[in-house]
Amino acid sequence: MAYNPLNHPFMDVNSDNPEYRDWMRYDAQGRPLITRHMGWTRFYEGCLNSPLREQIRERVREVVTNYPVDLMYFDGPYEGMDQEMHFCHSKYCEAAYQKARGKGVPLQDGSATLQDLIDYRQWMAEDVVVAFMHEIADMVRQVRDVPVVFNDTGLLSRGWRARAFRYVDGFMFEAADTPEQKLFNMRLGQSTGKVIWTYISSHTEYNSEHLKDKSVRGWYSAPVEGERLELDAAVATAAGAGYCYWGLNRLFYLPQDILEAPSIRSLKAVFDFAQENGRLLRSVSPRPQAGILTGAQTIQWYQGSFFVPQAYRNYYYGAWQLLKDMGYDAEPFLDYEMTAERLAGYKLVFVPNAACLSEAQCATLTTYVEAGGTLLATHLTSIADEFGRPRHDYGLSELFGASLKSPEPLEIPDLYLRVISSGKLIPQDPQVLLFQTAGSAEVIAETHDRGHRRTLGPAVVTRRQGKGRTIYIGSGLEAIYEETLNASLREYFRSLLDPILASTRTHEVEFRPGLMSQFASSQDTLVLHLLANTGNIWKKLLVQEEFLPVKDVRVRLRLPQGRSANSVALMWSGAKPAWRVRDGWVELTVPQVTMYEVIRVDLA
C-alpha cells in the first residue's frame, strides 16, 4: 500500500526553493496563505490550479507505475488546510475561475452576493478539488487496476473534498470525540456504499487546553494508553469498518518487545478477535429500522442568526443517541445522497434540523410519507433551499401541517413542553420556533413559558398524509438530549416512536447508561455487539479513562419467522450464557460487559 498526499502542506516557509512562489495560494492582497501542521513548523499552502497540480499527478504516476502496490491511499486532496475556506487569488486560480465562470474570484469582505459565493464554492469543490481526486483515481486505474482510497474525515464539514468519495473505492474516517459519535460516522460512511476505514487512537491526543498554540498536540510518541484503545477498536469492529493503529510511531522507540507494553497487548487482542472472526463479521449486515437524514447542506450553507455551526452536530448525534438509547438501529445518510429507494427501506426517517433542503428533496420526503413511511422532523427543517436561501416558511409546510410565524427561533429560559394527552411538563429546548398549525394537523404538545405564565403555541404536531404520518417538533429536543441525556426526554421520544418501531425491532436491550448496541445478521446468524462506554470522562475530554463493567444486562433478540436458535455464544468474553427461546425471541442475561461483548446466535 502506498500513502500519497495530494497537496498536503510541505512547503516550509524557511525553504528557499524558488518554485514554491509559483505553487502557493495567495489572499486578495497577494500575501501567501500559511498553515500550521501538527505544531512542527509553518508551511505555505499549495494551489491546485498552479503547476503544482501536475507535479503531484506525476509523482503519483511514478509510484503506481514503478512499485507493485496493491492499494493506493491518498491524504487529501487539499486546497489549503488551516486557511482552506480562505479563497485563493493566485494568478492561476483567478485565470481558471475567469475561464470557467467569466468573473473574478469573489472577495470575502462582505461585498460578494450570496450567488457569487455559491458559484465560487461550487466551482472550487466540484471543478477543482473533487475533479482532481477523480482525475487521480482514473489515472491510477489506467496504470494499475488497484483500489483507490482517500481521507474523507471532513465528510461533514464545509471543506472542499467531501463529495470526492464518489470517485474512489473507499475512504478513511479518522476519529470522533466519543465512541457513540465514531459509530455514527462509520455507519454514515458506509451509507455511501463505500468501504470505510478508521484509525484506532487518533483522538487519543494530549488535552492541550493550557497550550498557547493548539496545533501543538502533545506526545506523539506516547498516545493515551489502555482501555480507550480497546473500546475504539471495538466500535470499529461493531460497525464492520476496517482499521489501523494510528500511533505506530511510538513503537519505533520502544526498547523492549512491543507486546510487553500492556496497552499494545490488549490492542492486539482486538485485532486478533477481528481476524479470527473475520469471516463471520463480514457475513452479517446491519438491519436499520430508521434512517437519519444528516444535514451536510445545512453545514455547508446555513446562515441563520441563531445558528451555532460548531454545535449543529448535536442535532444529528442527538437523533442517533436517542434511537440507540431506545434500542433501535438507525442508519445515518447524507441529505444529498437521499433517494426514494433508500427511504423505502426505513420504517422511520428522522430529519434532525435539516434547515437546507431542495424542492426535489422535499418532494422525495413527501412521497415517502404518502407511501406509508413515518417522518419525524425537527426545528428548522426545510426553511431554506439547498444553498441556504431562506424560504420564509417550511418547504414541507403542507406535509407538516405547520406554518412559520417567524423565520428565526426565540431563546427564552425555563420553557417546558406540555404533553396534551397527559398534561405532563417536561423540559423543552430553550430555543423554539413559533409556528401555527395548518390544515389537518393535530397538536400533541405545546410550549409552556413558565417564567412569563403563558403558552407559546404548538410545539409538536402530527398529521397523516396518504398511508403515512409526520411528526414535526418545532425545537431541537434531540440536541437537548445529546447535551443532557435527560430521561424524561428519552421517555417522551419512546411514546412517539415505540408505536411505529417496536413491533419490528430486531433486538431489545434494557437501558443502561453508556451501553450501546449494534445489530447485524445474515441468513443463519444474528450478531449483537454491546459497547459499554462507562468510563470516567465526564468533565473533560481527552484525559486518561478507566471503565467500569455493566453487570447483568438483559437482552432479547427477535428470531426470524419460522426459525429457532441452535446456539448462543458470547464471543468476546467466551462466557457461556444461560438462554432460552420464548415467543419467538432468544432471551438471555449477559453477566458482564466490560467495554465490549458480542452475542452470537446461530439459527436452526
Cβ of residue 303: shortest distance to Zn ion, in angstroms? 25
Q: Which stretch binds Zn ion (CB under 5 A): 25-33, 172-180, 263-271, 332-340?
A: 25-33
| Burial class of residue 453 in the structure, from the number of CB atoms within 10 Å of its CB (0-12 exposed, 13-18 middle, 19+ buried) | exposed
Give the pairing of strands 374-378 and 468-473.
parallel
Closest CB to Zn ion among 52 and 149?
Answer: 52
Closest CB to Zn ion among 46 and 468?
Answer: 46
Q: Which stretch binds Zn ion (CB under 5 A): 17-25, 183-191, 376-384, 468-476?
A: 17-25
Closest CB to Zn ion among 89 and 324?
Answer: 89
Closest CB to Zn ion among 88 and 568?
Answer: 88
Closest CB to Zn ion among 86 and 268?
Answer: 86
Cβ of residue 129: shortest distance to Zn ion, in angstroms? 10
Contacts of 586 (CB under 8 A, 6+ apart): 526, 556, 557, 559, 565, 568, 579, 580, 601
In what side-by-side order are the strands of the sheet with 515-521? 515-521, 525-532, 596-603, 565-570
Closest CB to Zn ion among 33 and 241?
Answer: 33
CB 328 within 8 A of CB 290: yes
- What is the 8-class DSSP label of residue 47? P
Cβ of residue 346: shortest distance to Zn ion, in angstroms? 41
Measure the CA–CA gap between 170 and 130, rounded to whole angstroms. 15
Measure the CA–CA gap between 239 and 507, rounded to whole angstroms. 17
CB 533 within 8 A of CB 178: yes
Tell me the H-state helices in 15-90: 20-23, 52-66
Contacts of 502 (CB under 8 A, 6+ apart): none
Closest CB to Zn ion among 88 and 593?
Answer: 88
Report residue 216: phi and psi, to 5°: -85, 110
Among 6, 11, 34, 47, binds Zn ion (CB under 5 A): 47
Cβ of residue 84: shortest distance to Zn ion, in angstroms? 11
Q: Which stretch binds Zn ion (CB under 5 A): 49-57, 195-203, 300-308, 448-456?
A: 49-57
- Other C-beta atoms closer than 10 Å to the C-beta of 192 total 18
Q: How far apart are the first and last CA of the chain?
A: 42
Q: Which stretch binds Zn ion (CB under 5 A): 18-26, 173-181, 210-218, 557-565?
A: 18-26
Q: Which residues pair with 244 in a beta bridge?
A: 199
- What is the 8-class DSSP label of residue 83? T
Q: Is 125 in the site for Zn ion (CB under 5 A)?
A: no
Taking each helix axis from N to C end, the angle separating 262-276 and 227-239, rounded to the nearest 10 degrees, works out to 20
Closest CB to Zn ion among 90 and 151?
Answer: 90
Cβ of residue 33: shortest distance to Zn ion, in angstroms? 9
Cβ of residue 150: shortest distance to Zn ion, in angstroms? 20
Closest CB to Zn ion among 25 and 505?
Answer: 25
Closest CB to Zn ion among 98 and 303?
Answer: 98
Cβ of residue 25: shortest distance to Zn ion, in angstroms? 5
Give the pairing of strands 242-245 and 195-200.
parallel
Closest CB to Zn ion among 116 and 483?
Answer: 116
Closest CB to Zn ion among 124 and 183?
Answer: 124
Residue keyed to cell 430508521: 290
- Other C-beta atoms closer than 10 Å to the C-beta of 241 total 22
Closest CB to Zn ion among 71 and 107?
Answer: 107
Q: Assign 7 to helix, strand or coil.
A: coil
Subset of 26-45 contacting Zn ion (CB under 5 A): none
Which has the closest alpha carbon to 471: 498, 450, 441?
Answer: 441
Contacts of 18 (CB under 8 A, 6+ apart): none
Subset of 61-90 contacting Zn ion (CB under 5 A): 88, 90
Which has the closest alpha carbon to 398: 416, 377, 427, 412?
Answer: 377
Measure the CA–CA gap between 381 and 479, rounded to whole angstroms. 14
Closest CB to Zn ion among 123 and 167?
Answer: 123
Cβ of residue 82: shortest distance to Zn ion, in angstroms? 15
Q: Assign 139 to helix, strand or coil.
A: helix
Cβ of residue 90: shortest distance to Zn ion, in angstroms? 4
Closest CB to Zn ion among 44 and 328?
Answer: 44
Measure the CA–CA gap between 199 and 228, rounded to whole angstroms. 13
- Which string of x and - marks every residue 480-509 that binds Zn ion (by CB under 5 A)? ------------------------------
Give the pairing of strands 435-437 and 2-5.
unpaired
Please work out, in degrees rounded to the nearest 5, the angle formed at the alpha carbon of residue 319 by the alpha carbons of 317 and 324.
90
Cβ of residue 219: shortest distance to Zn ion, in angstroms? 35
Number of residues that bind Zn ion (CB under 5 A): 6
- Which string of x and - marks every residue 91-110 that binds Zn ion (by CB under 5 A)? --x-----------------
Cβ of residue 155: shortest distance to Zn ion, in angstroms? 23
Which has the closest alpha carbon to 443: 429, 427, 455?
Answer: 455
Cβ of residue 92: shortest distance to Zn ion, in angstroms? 6
Cβ of residue 105: shortest distance to Zn ion, in angstroms? 8
Cβ of residue 93: shortest distance to Zn ion, in angstroms? 3
Cα-based distances in Å from 29 to 51, 108, 511: 21, 12, 58
Measure the CA–CA gap between 136 and 133, rounded to whole angstroms. 5
Cβ of residue 26: shortest distance to Zn ion, in angstroms? 8
Which residues are near Zn ion by CB under 5 A?
25, 47, 49, 88, 90, 93
